[in-house]
Structure 1
Amino acid sequence: MRRVAVAGAIVAAVSVLLACSPPEEPVAEVTVSGKPGERPIATYVTPLTVTEPSSWAVWPGTGERLADDGPVLLDYWIENATDASLVRESYSTGPAPRLLTAEELGADLYATLHGQRVGARLVQLSPADAEGGTPYPTVTVLDVLPTRADGEKVPPRKGLPKVRRSDSGEPSIKGSKADPPTELVAQPLVRGSGRQVAEGDTITVQYTGFSWKTGEPFDSTWSVGLPVSFSLDEVPAWSEGLVDQTIGSQVMLVVPPTYRLGVTDSQELKGQTVVFVVDILDSRAPDPDQEPTP
């Protein structure tokens, strides 16, 4: 499967545009509305004068606390504060995965996210930064998204490998000497409460692929630590198995060798049944008016 991660240039632009400080009290000149998971609406009088960086939480997160050196998944909306024009956003494309380090994010963005929890919506006001290539102040809204499945555990189906998760969420399985299923199996292990995945969606996931026989992993996002995004249309087995599953779920896909698996096709796996354990972190229909991310 082709991994379509959010382009480094876009994420770098976010770091440049976000000159910020740890969350403070809200600035009265800016209000933000909108429901979780939806594009935010920032309301303020233009041109907005921003002389010092500031940031605050529209609402706090209630999920896991972000861990240093761990993954963070962000949706962002950035406006030019002089005229409220849109500079850049991720809601029509897909969230941006990064590692929570000062080296990766820059000192200011790291300070804003440090100590926050999944589910938080944050606002940042940043003054113009001529040296950084942003000759205007910005208003930015950030949504902190989950980086692992979270929901109601589902009793495992008899005959399928048992999945164990480490403290970080990384799955592992044991190999099986039993004959594998001859048809595709999609078994939820954790049922999330988000919307259902639809055909043609771009999904953002953490996953590991295993050999049914040995239980050895052959492909994993957990080894890098960052989720990936791609179109379901690119992987027929995943499209068939994940459509109608809900965001937040962890799903086991048992894939017979009759299915094409993109880059995971290899001589070592030829003729083998493979097992994917997939954490569905996000899923959204592609915006027909949005140019593809480079």
Structure 2
Amino acid sequence: MHRRAAALAVPLTAIALAVSSCGSIPDEWRTPAFMRMGEDELDPRLPEVSGDVGEEPEVTFPDNEPPDEEISGIVSQGSGEDELVRNDDLLVANVAQYQWTAPGEGELVEGQSSYETGAPDLVRMEQMPEYITEGLVNQPVGSRAVFVFPPLTEEERTQAEAAGQPAPEGASVLVLDVMDRFNKGAVVPGEQTSNGGGDLPEVVQEGHSQPEITIPETDPPEDLVVEPLIEGDGPEVEEGQQVIVQYTGVRWEADENGAHEPFDSTWSRAGDPFDTTIGAGAVIEGWDEGMVGQSVGSRLLLVVPGDMAYGETEEEAMGGPVGTLVFVIDILGAVDNPPPAEEPSADPSAEPSEGEEEGSEE
């Protein structure tokens, strides 16, 4: 299946869809990109898209047949050359999908707009088709891009249907608003106002690097401990949101060599930010309780007892780290999740099926 068909074969939430660790863009990468932006002219075959970035777009479809090739363009550019999209970023984007069905005719695909759900997509650039990434790289945060995918060929329709995927009529149009970006190695700004210490682990973290965690020679606390090392000034994390974090975890108990090596860390994956739903049982209880209510932009020291992590014994842990765990977590961002799908309601006018009587109980 062609790359465009593969991209359209999943919902936009699935499209959910290494930058320099210092987060800055070398000067020689900046001006040429902006010069090219200024010189580019939009393909006249693109639908007209109006409205402010960050608000639901208005799309007007041209009075001609959809093109038979992929076309794209940046219809609105953000400001700030320090915030250019890179090819391995994690983006927060509002995305809406439309079907361009005939000359001058098109419509929003039901359920395929983050403006309808109120929940943006998390787009990992490394997982996107080249056609998507090449249109976004070097564009500023706050930009709006439009992508047009031509109608599926008969072969592509057959492949999609065989895979159980929808085969829409006409061309598919994506409008994507880049709302924020997180690069590899991203950390929260600000200096640590606390390093922990005393009866708590001590944390030293220099710049964009894995934190060094020193465990005291004392028994671990029995209850969950949440110690802000950097206090963020962003909104409070709410239950059910998606959080974007950097983290490192170690066991309180030393290994056979007397060390406390990380059992898991985003820094072991090149500082690639991790995202997960918080406060809904998707992660350990210590994370759910420890992060909800904390401010975005915070660096947290979490000491999580085994009964709020993976358990106190090998049998309980089932392969996870045993006992009290220590995490250092940077809360880079938090965004809403889409609301759960509504269950179809029963039709009160429906007649009882054969063999059932109205008002009967099991």
CA shift digits 1:56-108 (9 cap, x unpaired) = 4442356554444x3322323123154341362456456334244xxx42222
Label 1:194 to 1:55 Cα distance change in 2 as closer, same or farther (>3 A): same
Quick check: 1:162 aligned with 2:203?
yes
**Conserved? CA contact 1:150–1:248, under 8 Å:** yes
Aligned partner of 1:220 among 243, 251, 265: 265
Quick check: 1:96 aligned with 2:96?
no
Question: What residue in structure 2 maps to residue 153 of structure 1?
Answer: 191
**Residues 29-44 of structure 1 correspond to what in structure 2 (within 5 A)?**
29-33=48-52, 35=54, 40-44=55-59
Question: What residue in structure 2 maps to residue 173 of structure 1?
Answer: 212
Aligned partners of 1:240 and 1:248: how far apart in 2? Answer: 17
CA shift digits 1:33-57 (9 cap, x unpaired) = 254xxxx311133567664432244
Quick check: 1:277 aligned with 2:329?
yes
For structure 2, list consecutive stretches of 5 or more residues without a partner in the other structure: 1-8, 18-35, 157-166, 344-362
Label 1:28 to 1:233 Cα distance change in 2 as closer, same or farther (>3 A): closer
Question: What residue in structure 2 maps to residue 189 of structure 1?
Answer: 229
Aligned partners of 1:287 and 1:268: how far apart in 2? Answer: 31
Question: What residue in structure 2 maps to residue 3 of structure 1?
Answer: none
Aligned partners of 1:233 and 1:15: how far apart in 2? Answer: 19
Label 1:173 to 1:282 Cα distance change in 2 as closer, same or farther (>3 A): same
TM-score, normalised relative to structure 2: 0.60
**What secondary structure is seen at the aligned counterpart in 1 of 2:132?**
helix
Q: Displacement of 1:253 after TM fit?
A: 1.3
Label 1:15 to 1:281 Cα distance change in 2 as closer, same or farther (>3 A): closer
**Residues 59-98 of structure 1 correspond to what in structure 2 (within 5 A)?**
59-60=78-79, 64-68=83-87, 70-80=88-98, 81=100, 82-86=105-109, 88-90=112-114, 92=117, 95-98=121-124
Question: What residue in structure 1 maps to residue 178 of structure 2?
Answer: 143
CA shift digits 1:214-237 (9 cap, x unpaired) = 341112344343523224221321
Label 1:154 to 1:109 Cα distance change in 2 as closer, same or farther (>3 A): same
Q: Number of paired residues?
A: 267
The one of the two structures with greater contact order (alpha-carbon pairs below 8 A, sep at least 6) is: 1
**Conserved? CA contact 2:242–2:336, under 8 Å:** yes
RMSD: 3.8
**What secondary structure is seen at the aligned counterpart in 2 of 1:74?**
strand
Label 1:197 to 1:15 Cα distance change in 2 as closer, same or farther (>3 A): closer
**What secondary structure is seen at the aligned counterpart in 1 of 2:193?**
coil
CA shift digits 1:13-32 (9 cap, x unpaired) = 7499xxxxx85467893213
Aligned partners of 2:172 and 2:274: how far apart in 1? Answer: 31
Question: What residue in structure 2 maps to residue 113 of structure 1?
Answer: 136
Q: Displacement of 1:244 after TM fit?
A: 1.4
**Residues 37-56 of structure 1 correspond to what in structure 2 (within 5 A)?**
40-46=55-61, 51=67, 52-56=71-75
* Larger Rg belongs to: 2
For structure 1, list consecutive stretches of 5 or more residues without a partner in the other structure: 1-7, 17-21
**Conserved? CA contact 2:242–2:275, under 8 Å:** no
Structure having the higher helix fraction is 2
Aligned partners of 2:53 and 2:73: how far apart in 1? Answer: 21
Aligned partners of 1:151 and 1:185: how far apart in 2? Answer: 23
**Conserved? CA contact 1:175–1:216, under 8 Å:** no
Structure having the higher strand fraction is 1
**Conserved? CA contact 1:253–1:275, under 8 Å:** yes
Question: What residue identity is the alignment partner of 1:116?
Answer: Q
**What secondary structure is seen at the aligned counterpart in 1 of 2:280?**
helix
The ranges of structure 1 where at least 4 consecutive aligned residues each deviate by more than 6 angstroms after the TM superposition are none
CA shift digits 1:250-282 (9 cap, x unpaired) = 3221212332348x9456732334224243422
CA shift digits 1:151-178 (9 cap, x unpaired) = 43340144132232564xx532233233
